[in-house]
A = this chain, B = another copy of it.
Amino acid sequence: MPRPTDHELFDLGDVVLQGGATLRGAQLAYKTYGTLNAEKSNVIVHPTWYSAWHDANEWSVGPGMACDPDKYFIVMPNQLNNGLSTSPSNTPPPYDGPNFPHVTFYDQVEVQHRLLTQKWGIESVELVLGSSMGAGQTYQWAVSHPEMVKRAAPIVGSSVTSEHNQVFLKSLRAALTADPVFDGGRYSPDALPTVGLRAFARIYAGWGLSQAFYWQREYRTLGFSSLEDFLVGFWEGYWLDERDPNDLLGMLWTWEHGDVGKTPGFDGDTEAALRSIRCPLLAMPAKTDLYFPPEDEVWASQFIPNGEVRVIPTIYGHFAGLGQNPADNEFIDRALTELLARPA
């Protein structure tokens, strides 16, 4: 899947990040589907997941679906660090490559908020949804802008990144940076640390899908002829496909440090942040997800006044929320349709 070019760029100007650094002349890449109505009352926001570009969200959009472009104005902002928005790979010195500053989920949502308010004058959002790191951004939207978000649907994600999930991420970082070519992030774009990226791919392969997925050799349904073909053809191919290592490590940091409790005003209190969410929030973890297990969402839900958890019954593990399996897509779409039908 080549890097998409069908997006637009919004000039953010200077962005002061939560950590203190200023990204000067930052840009947010986004794509929209459908038309903003005169009342500006038909907005859906759908941020991107780890390593992905906006096109990876398109499975959720279509006539007759919950995210119907004939009805809604759907905005898909690319997260900072993903290579299309301002990222290590496209920033000039001195904040280039490994010198790029850390970005939090709070920062991600603030720049998306600027896009919506400054570009279109949008004041309310019918639904924020997102998968995986997109779910982290969804939670953040609900906590950062309760005055604006009418409904939220975090899919295969969480409000705070669990320690087990962090161990996964730390193992990815350790494998990628073990490649000598990585050289502290000072590799040449013409000679990427492919040995480290292939190790990264194999680690990810074990976490991304469930035990049952592999037991049933479900990768054959996805068009792969054997386990090794799946590991090389899909997994290694994916991570070697124009995904920049410093960008990947930037997004990894955001994910690893995900916690709505870190929103200014909550002083690290995750439960208080969850209690502050005003809108209905429908969380959809996948039954067999190894790093965002349903338990994390059940835990969070107890603090959200209008929270609900609906577990996707699937063997696709984390991939259930990434548009890979028609049955899971349908489950999610039905739930989103129901959520959008609720008065808010």
A residues near B (Cβ < 8 Å) are 162-164, 166-168, 170-171, 174-175, 178-180, 195-196, 198-199, 202-203, 205-207, 209-215, 217, 227, 231, 290-291, 293, 295-296
Contact = CB atoms under 8 A, between A and B. Distances in A.
Contacts of A217: 163
A295 B199 contact: no
A162 B227 CA distance: 11
Contacts of A295: 211-212, 215
B290 A167 contact: no
Nearest to A290: B290
Which of A168, A171, A209 counts the most chain B CB atoms within 10 A? A171
Contacts of A214: 162-164, 167
B178 A195 contact: yes
Copies of this protein in the assembly total 2
Nearest to A195: B178
B174 A199 contact: yes
11 contacts: A163-B214, A164-B215, A166-B227, A168-B206, A170-B202, A175-B175, A178-B178, A178-B198, A211-B290, A211-B293, A215-B296
B215 A199 contact: no
Nearest to A294: B211
B163 A203 contact: no
A286 to B, nearest CB: 13
B178 A199 contact: yes
A176 B180 CA distance: 13
Nearest to A213: B164
Contact of A178 (B167, B168, B175, B207): B175
A171 B201 CA distance: 8
A97 to B, nearest CB: 20
A214 B179 CA distance: 28
A167 B212 contact: no
Contact of A174 (B168, B175, B207, B290): B175
A268 to B, nearest CB: 16
A215 B296 CA distance: 9
Which of A168, A174, A231, A293 counts the most chain B CB atoms within 10 A? A174
Contact of A167 (B163, B167, B205): B205
A205 B293 contact: no
Which of A167, A210, A231 counts the most chain B CB atoms within 10 A? A167
